[in-house]
Structure 1
C-alpha cells in the first residue's frame, strides 16, 4: 500500500489538468475527438476538407491550426498505451516495448525522488532486457541503477552493477561496429543496380567481419546483422542453395538455444526458405514447406500476402494450376486484399492473367474480363527490371493464340526496342534469348515446325543460362522453358 500511496500522490501532483488522451466514447465529444473520428472514417483527406467541415473557414485559419496541434499531442500520448501483444508483430517488438515502458517509468520515478520503487522497475526492465539481449536498454538500466545505488548508499550493489556495466559497454562497442557495417551495406543495396554490383566485394569483407564479431560475442544483435546480410549476398549472387543452408542452420541453432528465441524472426526464416525453394526449382519441397507453414502468418498482414505470392509462384512453376487457382481465390477473397499496396495488387493481377492464360477456368475469370485485363495491363516504363518483360510476353502469347498478326508485328518491334535498351547486361540474358524465340515465331509466320527448328539454338542457350540473382532478375511468372512449350502447343493447335 505504501507504493500505491506514493504513486497516487505523484499522479495527483503531476497530473495534467486537461485530459491528455482522446475521448472516443464521450457523447459530448470535444473538437479534437470530432476531428479524430472524421479522419478515422476517411471523411477528411486534406486541410481544406477539415476547414470546411469543422469551421467553414480556410485551411490557414488559426482555429484549425490549434485544433490539429492539440490532436497531434493527444495522439502522441496514446503511443504510451499501444497494444504490442499482437501476434502480427515481430516477436522482439513486444519485449522491447515492455523494456522501454519499464525504463521510462523507472526514470520518471527517479526524477521524483522515489528511488525504491524506481529500483524495482529498473531491475525488472534489466532482467527482461538481458533475456532479450537489448544491449542499449541494458546499459540505460544499469546506468540509472548505478545512480540509484549511489544516492541510496548501496555500496555492494553499486560496485557489482559498475562491473556489469563495463562488460556491456565493451559489448556495445562491438555491436556498434557491426551496426555500422550492416547499415552501410543496406544503404548501398538501396542504390542502383550498378552500385549494388560494385559493392559486392565490400559486402563480402563486411560479412567476414560480422561473422568474426558474432563468434567472439554470441550477440543476438550481431547475429541478426550477419544473418540478413549473408542472405542478401547469396541472393545477389543467385546462390539460393546457400540460402537454404543458412535458413536450415539458423533453425537448428534456434532449436539448440544458440540463437535467442526472443530476437530471431522465425517468420522471415520461413518466408525466405519458401522463396529459396522457388529459385532452386525444388517445387515439391517448396510446396510442402509452404503448406506446412501457412498458419505462421496472420492473414491481415502484408507478410501473409508476400508469403502467398511465393506460394502462388511455386504452384505455377510446378504446373499445378488448380492449386494456383485455389491460392489466388484465397488471396483475392481475403477482406484485407483491398488494403495492400497498389504495386502488390498489380502483381496479383499479372499472376492471375498468366494463370487464366494457361488454365482458363470459370472460377478464375470470365473471358470478357480477361480480354479487358490483357488490353489494360499497365506499362511499367519506370521499372526496367520489374514487370515490363512479363507484361510484353503475356501480351505476345495472347495475340499469338488469337492470330493477330498485325498486332504481333507491332509487339516484335517493341520487343526489339526494349531488348536493345534494357537487355544488354548478363543478368538479362534469359529474357533476351526468350525475346529472340518470340521473334522466331513471328518470322516463321506462326508455323510450328519452322519455329521449332529455327528456335532450337536460342532455346538451348536459354536452358544453359541460369537465372540471375534477385536484384537483377526480371520476373518469370512461369519459367521461360515452360512458356516456350506452351507457345509451341499453341502453334500446333492453330495449324489443326
Structure 2
C-alpha cells in the first residue's frame, strides 16, 4: 500500500493518467475509483482498501489483480511525468526527454528502422550538446555508429566513431570525477573522527578535480569539483576560500566556462551569503543577502534557511532593527508552520537571543513556550549543535534575573560540560567563553574585577580561530558581543 500511495502522489501531480494510460471506466470503473481514493489518502492499509472496494479482505484475488494493474499503470505513467510541474528546473525535463528518445530509438533499432533511429539519435545529440549530457551523447553516438555500420555508410561511420572516441573519453573522466566526489561525500556524512581522517587526502582530490574540469570543461566534473571544494573548505573553517569559490563561479558562468542552464545559482547564492557570515565579512554579506532575498520562493523551506543566514548576519553586525524586521518576516510567514521541528527550534532560539541582546525592540515579539531552553536537549558526541548556545542563554537569563543561587548551581554543570565535551582545539572559543562566564560567579558578580581578571581570557577568545562547520558550536551572537553584554548586566546590578 505504501508503494501505491507514493506513486499515486508522484505521478498524479504532473500526469493526466486518463490521457497517458487510460483507466477502465463505465461498468468496470473500479480503477478510477481506486486511484481517486489513493490520491485522497483515503486508504492507509490494504485491508481498508479491499473492504471498501470489494467488501472482502486483502487476500481476495480481485483486489490483488486490481492492485497489480494499478501499480503497473502508475509505473508506466512515469514516462509522461512533466518534471517542471513538480518544481524541477527545465534541464531535468530535457534529460527526461533524452531518456525517452533513447528508449524509442532502442526499440526501433530492434525493428531495424535505421533511419528513424538516426533521426532520434540526432535529437538526443542536439539536447546533449546544449546541456552537456555526455552519457546521453555517447549513447546516441553508439546508436548512430551501429546504424551506419549496418547500412554500409563508411564515411559517416568513421566520422561518428571519431566523435564517439572523444565523448567516451570525456564520459570516462566524468565517471572518475563523480566517484571521487561521492567517496568524499559519503565519508563526510560519517562521524567527526572519520571526517578528520579523510581531510588530509581531500586537497589532492580537489586539485585533481579542478585539473579534470579545466581539461574537459565538463559541467559534471565542475559540479564535483565545486561541491568537494566547498565541503573541504567548510570543514577546515576556511570560509574566505568559499567566498572566493562562489564569487569565481559566478564569473565562470558569465564567461561561459560553466553551463549557465545547469549551474545551481540559488545554491551558490545561499552558500555565498553563508560564507560571508562565517568569514565575518558582514557588510558585503548583508549586501548579497539583500540582493538575493527574492531569489527564493516565500513559501519554501529554502527561503527559511536563507533567512537564517541573513538574520545572523544582521545580528553579528549589530543591525538590530534589521534583525527585528527579519524576525517579523519569518514568524509572519504563513508557511512557518510547515517547516521542520528542528528549524522551528532554531528560530525560537534566535528569537530568545534577540530578546536577550536587544530587549528594547524585542519587547514586541511574543516568546514561545520555554524560550530559554531551560530543559537541555540530549547531548550528542558527533554533533554538538546548540548545546553551548542553550547553556549560555540559560546563564544570561538567570544573570539578568539576579538569581545567584541558580547561577551557582550551573557553575558545576558548565565545568562538567567543558571536561566532557570541549576537549578538542576546535572547541577553544566555546571553552574560553564558558570560562569567562564562570569567572563572573567566582568574582562575585563584580563587573570591574571580571573585566580586569577576564582580560587574558577575552584576548584568547579574540585570537582563537573560527573552527570549521563540522566541529563548531553555533555562535548565534558573537561571544565578544555577549561578554560585553554580561559586563553591562553586572554594572547595572552593582
Give me the TM-score of the superposition, normalised by structure 2.
0.86
Question: 2:411 corresponds to which residue?
Answer: 412
Question: 2:472 corresponds to which residue?
Answer: 473
Match of 2:371 among 366, 370, 373: 373
Question: 1:5 corresponds to which residue?
Answer: none
Answer yes or no: is the 8 Å Cα contact 1:415–1:435 preserved in 2: yes
Answer yes or no: is the 8 Å Cα contact 1:22–1:75 preserved in 2: no
Question: 1:339 corresponds to which residue?
Answer: 338
Give matches, 1:16-55, under 5 Å: 21=21, 34=33, 36-38=35-37, 40-41=39-40, 44-45=43-44
Displacement, 1:461?
Answer: 1.0
Displacement, 1:110?
Answer: 3.4
Write the deviation string for residues 211-232 of structure 1: whole angstroms up to 9, x where unpaired: 2222222222212111211122
Q: How many residues align?
A: 475
Question: 1:14 corresponds to which residue?
Answer: none
Answer yes or no: is the 8 Å Cα contact 1:207–1:226 preserved in 2: yes
Answer yes or no: is the 8 Å Cα contact 1:434–1:462 preserved in 2: yes
Label 1:56 to 1:123 Cα distance change in 2 as closer, same or farther (>3 A).
same
Answer yes or no: is the 8 Å Cα contact 1:325–1:364 preserved in 2: no
Answer yes or no: is the 8 Å Cα contact 1:92–1:264 preserved in 2: no
Label 1:118 to 1:194 Cα distance change in 2 as closer, same or farther (>3 A).
same
Label 1:167 to 1:494 Cα distance change in 2 as closer, same or farther (>3 A).
same
SS of equivalent residue, structure 2 residue 334: coil
Answer yes or no: is the 8 Å Cα contact 2:23–2:31 preserved in 1: no
Write the deviation string for residues 14-54 of structure 1: whole angstroms up to 9, x where unpaired: xxxx9875879x89995555555555545555667656766
* More moved, 355-364 vs 398-407: 355-364
Answer yes or no: is the 8 Å Cα contact 1:88–1:298 preserved in 2: no
CA distance in 2, matches of 1:300, 1:289: 21
Answer yes or no: is the 8 Å Cα contact 1:87–1:298 preserved in 2: no
CA distance in 1, matches of 2:55, 2:342: 37
Displacement, 1:272?
Answer: 1.1
Question: 2:8 corresponds to which residue?
Answer: none
Question: 1:11 corresponds to which residue?
Answer: none
Displacement, 1:158?
Answer: 2.5
Displacement, 1:481?
Answer: 0.7
CA distance in 2, matches of 1:487, 1:36: 62
SS of equivalent residue, structure 2 residue 92: helix
CA distance in 1, matches of 2:376, 2:476: 17
CA distance in 1, matches of 2:484, 2:47: 57
* More moved, 321-330 vs 468-477: 321-330
| 2:293 counterpart of 1:285 | no
Question: 1:75 corresponds to which residue?
Answer: 74
Question: 2:312 corresponds to which residue?
Answer: 313
* More moved, 242-251 vs 102-111: 102-111
Displacement, 1:62?
Answer: 6.5
Question: 1:487 corresponds to which residue?
Answer: 486
CA distance in 2, matches of 1:68, 1:173: 42
Displacement, 1:71?
Answer: 4.0
Displacement, 1:202?
Answer: 0.9
Answer yes or no: is the 8 Å Cα contact 2:324–2:362 preserved in 1: no
Question: 1:349 corresponds to which residue?
Answer: 348
Label 1:259 to 1:28 Cα distance change in 2 as closer, same or farther (>3 A).
farther
CA distance in 2, matches of 1:91, 1:79: 17
* More moved, 39-48 vs 207-216: 39-48
Give matches, 1:21-420, under 5 Å: 21=21, 34=33, 36-38=35-37, 40-41=39-40, 44-45=43-44, 68-85=67-84, 88-89=87-88, 92-360=91-359, 361=361, 365-366=365-366, 369-370=367-368, 372-375=370-373, 379-382=377-380, 384-420=383-419
Label 1:321 to 1:80 Cα distance change in 2 as closer, same or farther (>3 A).
farther
Write the deviation string for residues 199-244 of structure 1: whole angstroms up to 9, x where unpaired: 1111111122222222222222212111211122211111111111
Answer yes or no: is the 8 Å Cα contact 1:88–1:301 preserved in 2: no
Answer yes or no: is the 8 Å Cα contact 1:381–1:388 preserved in 2: yes
Displacement, 1:126?
Answer: 1.1
CA distance in 1, matches of 2:152, 2:411: 84
Write the deviation string for residues 342-376 of structure 1: whole angstroms up to 9, x where unpaired: 3222222222221232334468532xx44633256
* More moved, 200-209 vs 91-100: 91-100
CA distance in 2, matches of 1:191, 1:299: 33
Instruction: List alignment gaps of at least 5 residues for structure 1.
Output: 1-17
Label 1:139 to 1:390 Cα distance change in 2 as closer, same or farther (>3 A).
same
Label 1:468 to 1:121 Cα distance change in 2 as closer, same or farther (>3 A).
same
Answer yes or no: is the 8 Å Cα contact 2:348–2:368 preserved in 1: no
Question: 2:5 corresponds to which residue?
Answer: none
CA distance in 2, matches of 1:32, 1:413: 66
Displacement, 1:381?
Answer: 2.0
Label 1:484 to 1:209 Cα distance change in 2 as closer, same or farther (>3 A).
same
CA distance in 2, matches of 1:29, 1:457: 83
Write the deviation string for residues 69-108 of structure 1: whole angstroms up to 9, x where unpaired: 4444333233222223369535642432232233233333
* More moved, 331-340 vs 381-390: 331-340
Displacement, 1:393?
Answer: 1.2
SS of equivalent residue, structure 1 residue 373: coil
Label 1:240 to 1:39 Cα distance change in 2 as closer, same or farther (>3 A).
same
